[in-house]
């Protein structure tokens, strides 16, 4: 029995090595003076949680970049969706009103592609209709900010799809 298990695990290892791993680009994220952000949370703990969540989300988008590309992002300001409702308890609640409380993120970016000139810019991401937009509208932390980042990233860095051919009559 042991011999068969060794042969099977050897076959599985060989198959895993034969299948190439999906190559992806790299995203490097930095945050400039997060303690001065408009609204990344009320406490240092909340701010760190916001920064870590945004960093993780940006870095997760690297799989959409072609191999060899590096995207450098410097987050300059964050204003999260909603407003914090202060209450007598320790658990403050973030309330979404859909008024002037939409999510906003200001950032600089530079896309490095080997053999091509660097592409860079400053973006002011905002989603004024964040409560009316379809799509991911879950109750997880940073849901509206993640959706806004995804839309910007796809529009800015993924190749546009070819237009459909016109139907002939």
Domain ranges for the chain, please list them. Answer: 23-156
Q: What is the pLDDT of residue 5?
A: 46
142: left (phi over 0), alpha (psi -120 to 50) or beta: left
Tell me the C-alpha distance between 106 and 113, whole Å. 23
Beta-strand relationship, 26-31 and 70-79: parallel
Tell me the C-alpha distance between 151 and 145, whole Å. 10
The CA angle 154-157-158, to the nearest 5 degrees, is 60
Closest CA to 114 of 9, 42, 25: 25
**pTM for this structure?**
0.73
Q: Are 91 and 48 in contact (CB under 8 A)?
A: no
Q: Crossing angle, helix 44-60 and helix 143-157, to 10 degrees? A: 30
What is the full per-residue pLDDT of the chain (169 aa) written as tens digits? 555 444 444 444 444 444 445 568 999 999 999 999 999 988 899 999 999 999 999 999 999 999 999 999 999 999 998 876 555 455 555 555 555 678 999 999 999 999 999 999 999 999 988 777 665 555 678 999 999 999 999 999 986 654 555 555 4
- Residue 5's SS3 state is helix
Q: What is the pLDDT of residue 7?
A: 45
- Residue 11's SS3 state is helix
């Amino acid at each position: 029995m042991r011999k068969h298990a060794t042969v099977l695990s050897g076959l599985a290892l060989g198959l895993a090595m034969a299948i190439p791993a999906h190559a992806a680009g790299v995203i490097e994220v930095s945050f400039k003076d997060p303690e001065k952000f408009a609204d990344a949370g009320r406490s240092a703990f909340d701010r760190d949680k916001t920064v870590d969540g945004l960093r993780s989300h940006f870095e997760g988008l690297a799989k959409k970049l072609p191999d060899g590309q590096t995207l450098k992002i410097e987050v300059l300001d964050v204003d999260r969706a909603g407003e914090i409702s202060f209450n007598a308890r320790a658990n403050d609640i973030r309330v979404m009103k859909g008024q002037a409380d939409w999510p906003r993120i200001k950032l600089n970016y530079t896309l490095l592609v080997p053999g091509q000139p660097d592409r860079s810019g400053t973006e002011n991401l905002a989603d004024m209709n964040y409560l009316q937009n379809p799509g991911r509208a879950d109750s997880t932390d940073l849901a509206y900010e993640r959706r806004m980042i995804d839309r910007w990233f796809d529009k800015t860095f993924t190749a546009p799809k070819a237009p459909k051919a016109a139907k002939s009559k």
